[in-house]
Structure 1
């Protein structure tokens, strides 16, 4: 650039990038390390202070520091389809090289607030991006950017972005307070979004250089926070979860084109939509024409709602529905590449289904079960192809939730496993490969979480106290509200299938009492809570009376229980069980457990997952509390994991 500025024959400068995209942001691995020259803020300062106009030629994904670079130029020309964003908030950070000061000077302040605090990527042609670029072109980006630069070079003087006024548009000064209140709910417990609001408001009230200095202070404060460390851990954990071991890298995944789903209920329909949404033809199988009609109607209705909310077009809906075939005949599955069974949680039912599939499907077809708890190795015994059998545990609603637990059995082949992992990526899922045990990783741990919630009901806590404590801690929903929503009888029936179910009579006693009293949750308008006609829940004196009576019967003293005690009981139960799962090699690394809980159970991302959270508070402190629970209750399930004891005594962490 210095050469161009010194050359009197050059009137303007075009900034272009080679490769598949414009600059897409910083290397996260470098965060916290000594800065390597050139220092980005210094480079951007030179761009901003250039006496000659600089035009950025944008294409691909222009993110983070790359977007700040573009904003530091005097003008921007973009290729159709270009996406821009400042995603730092997703890592517990705010833009650190001027993003909060530059963006509200080129687009309206409300758009800047939304873009920075959401961390989303937006298309350059969207209304929210108005003002960000000066011209959009459909081809010949560099040539047309040069032509644009030749035109603007004739204009004098050149006005640098920092000299522009903040674009308030129709927004009022109260917009900042409104967003602070909105983010207090949307990004509960997070520092970065609130710091971003403060920094954007500084752009309105402070000179550019002072605003820039404050932004840097906020950025460094966020970077050193536990919140940012947790969110960066989550980012890398998700990348690591889908990596193959080096020994498997040379194995090619099978080509999977045609999918069959057994079961057209809520889960089966959601799984079908996951594949239809990504262009895979799907055969939906049910036991009767009535069930089939109900299932296909449910899928159609879900798509209609997506059209009404403008998430997809009518044309897209029609295309997806045309790719779906419904049948009651297993013979129609003779040529499919993958079958996913999503039938009733009964070992007998599933074994019968797999016997039928083994008889009609071609030898290379992969047979997967969506079971939440059952022994897939036992299911595989019903086939002559155990190497082709594995678990693909989707989370409900399957077409929305990103997590997919892929369960590897003893005889599952490497090709089968890699094919499932590759397919998960194709349909936009975050997968985690786990070993076989009852409940796998997620539900096995969730049982411990729910177990403690049930115990606390008998000890004197109310459903709303337990749920509110966990929501305040950061969980998306409380465990008892979740149980009511999914149906208390679902887990009740699943426990009956557990060959190693605890013999303790108080194990999930509160939930068992609800089911036996016909209180199944929202679907019966009574569960842990009661529900009015609109579905609004409230505490139910009848349920509380059941808990109190049962506590008295079993000699359990009821008392006031603090919010902190509730939170510690439930979260430490997760951590202890997670450690046992690592001991047994059900999960290959602690970060895989975190991925499952972050993406499947509403665990707060700013805490990094249960195992990372344990690291942040110290395994010695976690162990001390678990030992106290064990001593006070005498319950076997509170016995500390040997791995936790070993790591705590050695001063080590679960995370590498």
Structure 2
């Protein structure tokens, strides 16, 4: 029929094979021949049943995202029309699923009478992760197959369902270990022989009854699953659509689902989340690291330091199934670190997110030592020691003598010059930065810091290992703070002055949480510990009037029950403290500052706009290859709201010209460099985007 759809016959069973590499997405060029094939087979009296399966490594993994917001996305035949055609079959239709049936793939499969699967198959409706909901009946059909409660959880989270769970829940009718298509044909024949009733999914109502009789209970479940979706439109619309499956006739719920889909796909949040989807894939493309550059084998990892950071890094590798040797300077520190790792795993077991067997397996991959010589068999060694150049150099000097040739030496530094660290070894080509984010076993971001002499295969290895341990890697260049922390410093530069001039910590934090950040900078400071910044400032000869005064009073944040806020015993909820407000007023008088009312708009301009300007400088210097790389850093490592797509994407929506104008205003008012628009910032404002403004391309 076409290169994308072929039909063969096994007697009176027609086998339809879809072949649209690499993931069989439902592009228009696939939908057209599929529609023609289905109509022919439906009307062919010699065909007793139809089996639909896919060539390659997977079933249909979803829609073709590149067609969104283009005429092809809705051009006939669209997915909804294909499903309607399937539901008109008076003969059995069987979807034979291997790999992943995600999004439109699962929706198409639910248009069939039956679904059978390979034992390794996965199923899901992950559209919410793109700021969308299923747009071809997924929210109305899935509840009819697995029940509205499980459907709600699956659709709002977007998380996949394994084959065995799918079988137990009724999403699939059979699971096979091998010969999927042959077994699907046999399944169809046996169904015909047994006279299995052909009931379209749309007509199945049994599993809706309980929730229909207890809508209040179902609404409570909705409220629970939406707790983690603050500020995002898609999860709320997903929940609304599943509820409609209970309260509306099928066709009305279907029409409303489509209305929600169109509303979301045209909205800024979905555009932002789709931007991040493609940005993450772009971030994996690094200059000079083509398919010909092969990663080195990493069979064992060494971690130096068993504190909070080192322990989290070690757990990241253990979670990826990579054996770890962790080193500490004393037996006591080593035992304490390993105990804390085991305790963290035990909490996961207690919460039900990990089995006891998985915990035992991961801890079984761990060995501890106080002897550098025991790192000799490690292929990658990550130091996570105190953030001080002298200490780092001493560690790398030792590693230079004990590690094997070809072993990769990585620093978990947050700020320091990786090239200077590399120069303390005889093999700078093997050295790079691997900047994990705390807690390292949880946070997804991994900044891979490429030194001037870092070998291409070292970068390729870091990218490969990052994927193995479930991290989102971004390759960056060398500068103080790299991408994330450098921009964070600019975002934070005005915080003290905002307090002295009239704002309160709670007022500033509210601007951030209203924007969509999980917490504001002062609450974050209390969580991290104010003493950390205090110590860093003292080492650099810097001061901060309010924060230093708090630390001098022993107010280090949550760990002492007092910081910028008060914390009641056992609580992490910040409460405004009149003593802090009095301290701020006193410091303002000392500094001759007349306090005034400060608006939310001013707070946003004096914190977020300098961050964008610093991002432009990062691009101009080639520290980041693309503006979208910066967005990946900030959404995965710093809590920038995904519904806004990252700082650089958001800045373009905000208006680059507006941001430059306000930066110039504040630069004129304060004279501070942080407000002086960079050359690239100005060019981007003229071009309307960062993509069309040139940069040096140092990392690109």
Say whether the 8 Å CA contact 1:123–1:129 is kept in structure 2.
Answer: no
Counterpart of 1:525? 561
> Does the alignment pair 1:418 with 2:460?
yes
SS at match of 2:71: coil
Residue 225 (structure 1) shift: 0.7
CA displacement 1:260-291 (0-9 Å, x = unmatched): 11111000001011111222121111111111
For residue 552 of structure 2, what is the aligned residue in structure 1?
516
1:223-622 to structure 2, matched below 5 A, reads: 223-245=265-287, 248-496=290-538, 508-536=544-572, 537-622=574-659
What residue is the counterpart of 2:64 in the other structure? 27
Compared with structure 1, are the counterparts of its residues 494 and 411 closer, same or farther at alpha carbon in structure 2 (3 Å cutoff)?
farther
The answer as to whether partners of 1:183 and 1:194 remain within 8 angstroms in 2 is no
- 166-175 or 188-197, which moves further after superposition? 166-175
The 1:197–1:542 alpha-carbon spacing in structure 2 relative to 1, beyond 3 Å, is same
Aligned partners of 1:347, 1:261: CA distance in 2, in Å?
18
Aligned residue in 1 for 2:207: 167
CA distance in 1, matches of 2:110, 2:441: 37
> Which of 172, 181, 184 is 1:142 aligned to?
181
238, 254, 268: which one aligns with 1:212: 254
Specify the SS of the correspondent of 1:295.
helix
Tell me, in whole angstroms, the C-alpha distance in 1 between the residues paired with 2:86 and 2:357: 45
- Would you say how many aligned residue pairs link Structure 1 and Structure 2? 650
Cα distance per residue 1:293-327 (max 9 Å; x no partner): 11111111112222222333323222222222211
Structure 2 contact 545–587 (Cα < 8 Å) conserved: no
How many angstroms does 1:363 deviate by?
2.6
Task: Give the TM-score taking structure 1 as reference length.
Answer: 0.94
Uncovered stretches (5+) of structure 2, i.e. residues with no partner: 1-37, 694-700
**1:452·1:573 contact (CA, 8 Å) conserved in 2?**
no
Q: Distance in 2 between matches of 1:244 and 1:371?
A: 21
**Closer/same/farther in 2, CA of residues 606 and 179 from structure 1, 3 Å limit:** farther
Does residue 120 of structure 1 match 2:159? yes
For residue 127 of structure 1, report the CA deviation from its aligned partner.
7.6
Cα gap change, 1:163 to 1:247, in 2 (>3 Å): closer
Query: C-alpha separation between the residues in 1 aligned to 2:687 and 2:185?
Result: 62
Shift of 1:392: 0.3
Q: Secondary structure at the match of 1:186?
A: coil
Give deviations 1:95-152, integer Å, cap 9, x for gaps: 1111122112222112222211211111133389712122333333223322322233
Q: Which moved more, 1:508-517 or 1:588-597?
A: 508-517
Q: Does 1:67 align with 2:103?
A: no
C-alpha separation in 2, matches of 1:490 and 1:175: 46
Question: What stretches of structure 1 of length at least 5 have no aligned partner?
Answer: none
Residues 252 and 358 of structure 1: is their aligned pair in 2 closer, same or farther, counting only changes over 3 Å?
Answer: same
Q: Give the SS at the match of 1:55.
A: strand
Deviations 1:175-201 (A, max 9, x none): 564355446642222222222233233
Give deviations 1:11-62, integer Å, cap 9, x for gaps: 3222222222211101211111112554221111100111112121222211
Contact 1:257/1:281 (CA < 8 Å) preserved in 2? yes
* Aligned residue in 1 for 2:19: none
Counterpart for residue 629 of structure 1 = 666
Query: Is structure 2 residue 17 aligned with structure 1 residue 17?
Result: no
Alpha-carbon distance, 1:10 to partner: 3.0
Question: Residues 449 and 570 of structure 1 are in contact (CA less than 8 Å); yes or no, is this contact kept in structure 2?
Answer: yes
Q: Which residue of 1 aligns with 2:94?
A: 55
Greater shift, 370-379 or 196-205, is seen at 196-205
Query: Which residue of 64, 82, 85 corresponds with 1:43?
Result: 82
Root-mean-square deviation (CA, aligned residues, Å) is 2.2
Measured in 1, the distance between the counterparts of 2:165 and 2:496 equals 48
Tell me the distance in 2 between the aligned counterparts of 1:339 and 1:619. Answer: 42
Q: In the TM superposition, what is the alpha-carbon distance from 1:592 to its structure 2 partner?
A: 0.6
Q: Note the C-alpha offset of 1:367.
A: 1.1
Alignment pair present for 1:192 and 2:272:
no
CA contact under 8 A between 1:373 and 1:494: conserved in structure 2? no
| 1:111–1:129 Cα contact (<8 Å) kept | no
SS at match of 1:257: coil
Q: Deviations over 1:142-167 (max 9, x none)?
A: 23322322233353763222222273
Deviates most, 425-434 or 562-571: 562-571
- What secondary structure is seen at the aligned counterpart in 1 of 2:83? helix
Q: Cα gap change, 1:214/1:129 in structure 2, threshold over 3 Å: closer, same or farther?
A: farther
Conserved in 1, the CA contact under 8 Å of 2:289 and 2:459? no
User: Greater shift after overlay, 195-204 or 262-271?
Assistant: 195-204
Q: Which moved more, 1:644-653 or 1:19-28?
A: 644-653
Residue 244 of structure 1 and its aligned partner are, at CA, apart by 2.8
Q: 1:277 to 1:198 in 2, by over 3 A?
A: closer
Cα distance in 2, alignment partners of residues 569 and 184 from structure 1: 32
**Structure 2 length as normaliser, TM-score?**
0.88
8 Å contact kept, 2:302–2:375 = yes
Cα–Cα, structure 1 residues 166 and 96, in superposed 2: closer, same or farther, change >3 Å? farther
Structure 2: how far apart are the matches of 1:493 and 1:407?
25
